[in-house]
Structure formats: C-alpha cells, structure tokens
Amino acid sequence: MELSPKLYHYFVRPQWFSNIFYDKMFHDLIDFRGKTVLDFGCGVGSSSFLFEPSAYHGVDCDGNRIEYAKKLYPEHNFMVIKADGRLPLSRNSVDYVMILSVLHHISTELFFDYLKEFQRVLKLDGSLIIVEPCFYEKASLPNWCMSNFDKGRYIRNEDEYLDIFRKANYKTKVIKRYNQLLFYNKIMFFASPICEI
C-alpha cells in the first residue's frame, strides 16, 4: 500500500528527520551558498528547506507528492520527471545532484539512464551526493529490518553501489558509513563523472 503524500510527510520523512540526519551532515561537508541543487526523488520536498529556494530543484516521478511539496514549500521549485526519464533541466545547470534514499527503489539498468542525465545537467565540476540504505556484513539486525520493512527492492551492499557508478565512468568517494535509528545502515558517498558516457 502506497502512503498518501500527507502521511508520507508526517510518518516517513518529517522535517525533523531531515534536520537531524541531513542538515548538519551536509552543511559540515559542503558550502552550498551560491550553488544549485537538484534533489532527485525529492518526494514531498522534505529536504528542500535546507537550501535557498532559488537554488533548489526537486524532481520526483510521483505527481501527487510533487503537488503536495508545492503546497508545503511554495517558494521552491518542484517538477515531475518526464515519462522518458529526461530531467526537466538544462545542460550544465546544477552544481550538485542529491540522491537521498532513492537508489534502492531503482533497478541498476534504469539507473544507468539517469546517470547519463545527471552528467548532462551537472556543471563540469559538479558532483552527486548519495545517501542510501546499505547492507553490511555482521549487521544482521539492520540487514534483516531493511530487507523486511523497506519497500525498496534494490538495497545493495557498498561494493554494488560503487560499482554502478564506476561502470558509468564516475569516480566515487565514500564519506561516511553510519547507523540510522538502529535499524538502518547507511552509506554516504560522492560521485563525479570523469568522462562522457
């Protein structure tokens, strides 16, 4: 059963969650002032408040969540991803593509197409910021919880995530491995294109 955008906002990605888990972590690592951000898979816009409205673009395939995000954060820019997977942004228009707990909902084959689109919209020195649930050895409880309670069908281990990017000619750098709310292991890494795909 898919949650309504309102229930998703209150129970899955409330603003306090982004405050605790993303605000300090991102702003300790990156100075976003004067930078443009694409929030890929933005859902109801839970992370949009972290960025200046004029520098933020949120995209999602769920039109209902996009409409709800527009109500919650009317100053920010939200768009539905086109049916052909093309991002509604110009070439070389963003500094960062932020992907927060989205990859584990996308097959590897489909994600390769998005990696081409990210390369198209990124500025030459731009990069991706990825935070994903991640299976780890000797983490039985979090691995079991992620396997049984998360709706994502493509939770991967660290090597599998990084291999996707390397095969698409991106260089990667793991920034942080951490446990979130006891039941989830997460990985945060950066990825930057190194040549045309």
Report the CATH number at residue 59: 3.40.50.150
Q: What is the 3-state secondary structure (H, E, C) of the chain?
A: CCCCHHHHHHHHCCHHHHHHHHHHHHHHHCCCCCCCEEEECCCCCCCHHHCCHHHEEEEECCHHHHHHHHHHCCCCEEEECCCCCCCCCCCCCEEEEEEECCHHHCCHHHHHHHHHHHHHHEEEEEEEEEEEEEECCCCHHHHHHHHHHCCCCCCEEHHHHHHHHHHCCEEEEEEEEEEECCCEEEEEEEEEECCCC
Q: Is residue 25 included in any domain, yes or no? A: no
Q: Is residue 20 included in any domain, yes or no? A: no
pTM: 0.86
Q: Is residue 147 included in any domain, yes or no? A: yes
Q: Is residue 23 included in any domain, yes or no? A: no
* Model confidence pLDDT, tens digit, residues 125-174: 999 999 998 888 888 887 787 788 777 788 888 999 999 999 999 999 99
Looking at the structure of the chain, the number of domains it has is: 1
Domain that holds residue 107: 5-9+36-43+53-193
Q: Does the structure show a pLDDT above 60 at 53?
A: yes
Q: Is residue 92 included in any domain, yes or no? A: yes
Q: Is residue 18 included in any domain, yes or no? A: no
Asked which of 77-91, 138-152, 182-196 is least confident by mean pLDDT, the reply is 138-152
Span 61-89, mean pLDDT? 92
Q: Is residue 27 included in any domain, yes or no? A: no
Q: Is residue 171 included in any domain, yes or no? A: yes
Under the banding of pLDDT at 50, 70 and 90, the label for residue 197 is very low
